[in-house]
Structure 1
Amino acid sequence: MRTAVVVGAGIGGLAAAGGLARTGWQVTLLEREDRVRSDGTALVLWPNGLRALRALGLGEGLDAIATAVAHTGVRRPDGQWLVQPRPQPGERAPVVVHREDLHDALIAGLGEQVEIRTGVSVRGLRPVSGDRPAVTTGRGAIEADLVVAADGTQSVLRPVLAPGSTVISSGCAAWRAVVPWYRAPQLPPEQISGEVLGAGYRFVSASLGERGSAGGSSRGGIYWVATAVGASRPESPATQLTLLRRWFAGWPSPVGELLAATEPGDVVQQEVRDLRPLPRAYGFPAGPGGVVLLGDAAHTMPHHLGQGACLAFEDAATLCALVRDAVPGPQLTAAIETYSRLRRPRAVAMARQTRRVAAVLQARGRLALRARNATLGTISPRLMGRVAATAAQWNPPPP
Structure 2
Amino acid sequence: MRRALVVGGGIGGLATAGALSRSGWQVTVLERADRIRVEPTALLLWPNAIRALRALGLSAGLDAIATPLPDAGVRRPDGRWLVRPRPEPAAATPVVVHREDLHDAMIAGLGDRVELRTGFTVRTVRSEDGQRPAVGDGHDLIEADLVVGADGIDSVVRSRLAPDAVAVSAGCVAWRAVLPWYRAPKLPADQPVNGEVLGAGYRFVSVSLGERGSSGGSSRGGIYWVATAAGAPRPEPAQTQLALLQRWYADWPAPIGELLAATEPADLVQQEVRELRPLPQYYGRTAGPGGLVLLGDAAHAMPHHLGQGACLALEDAATLTGLVRETAPGEPLRAAVEAYQRLRRPRVAEVVRQTRRMSAVLRSRGRLALRARDAALSTISPRLVQQAGSTAGRWRPPL
TM-score normalized with structure 2 length: 0.97
1:363 alignment partner, SS class: coil
Deviations 1:287-319 (A, max 9, x none): 111000000000010010111000000000000
- On the 8 A contact 1:8/1:151 being kept in 2, the answer is yes
Match of 1:370 in 2: 371
Q: Give the CA deviation at 1:254.
A: 1.0
Matches within 5 A, 1:164-243: 164-188=164-188, 190-214=191-215, 219-243=220-244
Distance 1:67 1:159 in 2: 37
Match of 2:261 in 1: 260
Distance 2:3 2:354 in 1: 36
Distance 1:265 1:157 in 2: 33
390 and 214 in structure 1: CA distance in 2 versus 1, 3 angstrom threshold: closer
What is the identity percentage for the equivalent residue pairs of Structure 1 and Structure 2? 69
Deviations 1:322-344 (A, max 9, x none): 00111001100000000010000
Distance 2:320 2:102 in 1: 20
Match of 1:86 in 2: 86
205 and 127 in structure 1: CA distance in 2 versus 1, 3 angstrom threshold: closer
Q: Give the CA deviation at 1:35.
A: 0.6
2:364 alignment partner, SS class: coil
Match of 1:303 in 2: 304
Distance 1:131 1:69 in 2: 48
The reply to whether residue 12 of structure 1 matches residue 1 of structure 2 is: no
- On the 8 A contact 1:191/1:253 being kept in 2, the answer is no
Deviations 1:263-293 (A, max 9, x none): 0000000000010111111010001110000
Match of 1:341 in 2: 342
Deviations 1:365-385 (A, max 9, x none): 000000111111122212211
Match of 1:132 in 2: 132
RMSD in angstroms over aligned alpha carbons?
1.3
Q: Give the CA deviation at 1:78.
A: 0.5
Structure 2: where are the runs of 5+ without partners? none
Match of 2:290 in 1: 289
Match of 1:280 in 2: 281
Match of 2:53 in 1: 53
Matches within 5 A, 1:63-102: 63-89=63-89, 91-102=91-102
Distance 1:90 1:179 in 2: 27
2:187 alignment partner, SS class: coil
Structure 1: where are the runs of 5+ without partners? none
Q: Give the CA deviation at 1:91.
A: 4.8
Distance 2:126 2:137 in 1: 10
- On the 8 A contact 1:180/1:218 being kept in 2, the answer is no
Q: Give the CA deviation at 1:177.
A: 0.2
Q: Give the CA deviation at 1:138.
A: 3.1
- On the 8 A contact 1:40/1:218 being kept in 2, the answer is no
1:358 alignment partner, SS class: helix
**Runs of at least 4 residues of structure 1 off by over 4 A?**
none
2:123 alignment partner, SS class: strand
89 and 38 in structure 1: CA distance in 2 versus 1, 3 angstrom threshold: closer
